[in-house]
Structure 1
Amino acid sequence: MSRLLLRLLTVVSLPVCLLGCGGGDDISVYNAPKPAEAPAIEPRPGPVMTGEAEPTQMIAAIIPQGEEAWFFKVDGNPAAVTPLMKPFLELVKSVEFGDDGDATWDTPDGWTQQAGNQIRFATLQTGDEEVSVTRLPIFGDDLDEYILSNVNRWRGQVNLPPMDQADLHQGGDLNEETRLLTLGDGTEVTLVNFSGVKAGGTSVPPFAGTGRTPPSGRPAAPARQTSTSSELNFDVPEGWRPGETNSFRKASFVVGQGEQQAEVTAIDLPAAANDPIPNINRWRGQVGLDRLDAAEVEKEIRSIDIDGSTGQYVSLVGPEDRSPRKAILGVIVERGNKAWFFKLTGPADLALRQQANFEKFVRSIRFSGE
């Protein structure tokens, strides 16, 4: 049994029906060879609902591929998510990787594929539900720990307690929430299913002190603000509006109006993720630029001061003949045991108009969680 197989057997979970039971039509186009199916496992009942908690179900897949991992995920009310289990499985089975590292797949009948954004590689619409497709670099040398951290992040989203490695793989037998799938090219996939609850009540505003709208005609003065994690303090440029935050995004803003909008994000990852070469080349690919070797990347990096630390700053603008033409302003800085990533991503002309504001924002940052 290969080392990668042992690693993937220790991870994540997906309900049994996702792995081959149930009826319904097959996907109309299916090229990848089907792997052998493992015995069915009865899904265990979800937690008892109390108070305002709402039942929720998450089905997802993690596909390690080289230095990256691909994540396919859908979550929502079990009544809507359960019928998606079979087509979701067929979607994952059809995934193939090209020489450029990008994934392709066969979209199930009745689903529509939408373009990605700064975070997602793509979105698949299935009626009222969405399947998100994202790709992230694999950080650190321990694949088991990397996958486990993502599993526990998902479990937290549905109010389940964290797992440890022993929970994920016991005595060579798959537990009730975990399933291993092998694609036709030998790529091994971890599938998960979590039945939990989504707590009710009011949501936490994205930024402390920014919930009020200024009176009409009176622009809000730049204010000293704090991220939802209380790890960052910063000055917000005029016209920047709070965006969505989550367990990865510690701060987020939207800039511009209508189709001309850019997004600013602040993300923290383990310090091992701070290598600028793969990160900047990944950003270059996102705006349509070719990869560079290490020496060429170093020439593009500028220094920028962030609370006494030196950040590595690049301004990447896509080719003129590319439509839409995008740009990324990106900063990487190591602080303590974390690598922080600050990015502005959007239409090239808007990004360049906001460059001075972005640089002021980055220079205003103060770290408070050390």
Structure 2
Amino acid sequence: MNGKESFAVRRLFGYLTGTKMKQFIHLKIWPATVGTLLIIAATGCGRDSVKVYHVDASDTPTPPPVAAPAAMPGSMPTAMPEGMLAPDNSSQPPLQYTLPAGWEKKALTQMRVASFGISQAGKQADVSVIPLGGMAGNDPANVNRWRGQVGLDSLADAELSKLAEKITVGEQPADLYDLAGTSPGSGDAERIIGVILHRDNTAWFFKMTGEAGLVEKQKPAFISFLKSVSFGGLAAPSTMDLSQLPPSHPPIGGMNSGIQAASVDAGDKPTWTVPVGWQEGQLAQFLVAKYVIAGAGGAQAAVNVSSLAGDGGGLLPNVNRWRQQLGLTPVDEADLNKIVSTIDASGGKATLIDFSGTDGGKPARLIGVVLPLGGQTWFYKLMGDADLVAQQKEALVKFVQSAKYPD
């Protein structure tokens, strides 16, 4: 599939997840279009060998980025664009591995470059592999998300470091976390074995989760799988702000969120008035805009702008992801109405979110603006040093209000 064809397919999927889905379903071209997409996707895939598999991530959307500079507040993987950007994995590196006996390959979802299911005696387990660019330094936050998935409390960084088991993925060192608990929903015994590898400015997340007994039995196979892994020559380019992943689906979990990225061409990008002192940051894949702000005494903050198709996963899940970034507990729908307000934006009414917490043990603040517009949702997020963010709140609001969106 060439670049133009790949782009066209991504645009169509973004369209299908938008508000015009229902109208499109009624069109007679629907079956033909789906068939065409399947044919296009199929032509890019090769045959799998008997034991060694090659995963071509070209069919896998990758999560949108929020690449924050090293040590900058908010660089934590919790901002799938500021909403959940479903990335394009076309430039993700290939992954080679030996498939353990009994593991079945599953369809790749938005963030996964490899996905497997394990079933024995009615028990189930899932294995996912997700690469995220620019994700160094956030291991404690990710491990605590995993802990939450099996009903365990969060731990301080020092305690988490004691849980890490040293392991190799291929020939590269990585950390393994073995977490046993219960499903918050069913109360059944569950276990997660998660591995985090940092390679070429990319964090690779290997995760096996499922019924506790089955996961325990499959641990040797999982470790053998990890040792068999080898990487292609390119590093994953995209980054993701995990604050956008659903509470039940930590970004590193690898489950499909069902949300598609809204593709934004250069000609479709809004125009706006950039406040004084905001410097353009490195624009990662699928991030519409990024600005960094420097304050007194080395204080830093970052502004990320992204767009998602439809409602971007819903306001409440996104707010709770953002709260999680600052070490705050989730809120329910009733409490949500107490902590948000509305502002006028050029495209209509927008929701303003503002709360304070800590990031890396230091006071931090996050101000977000969510604007539904024309079948997609725009996410603006300012996060960083608490005092600096407070000083920049008015500038952020004016920035949002100055935006002019293409028709």
Task: State the TM-score, normalized to the length of structure 1.
Answer: 0.48
**Bigger RCO (CA 8 Å, 6+ sep):** 2
- Higher helix fraction (1 or 2): 2
Task: State the TM-score, normalized to the length of structure 2.
Answer: 0.44
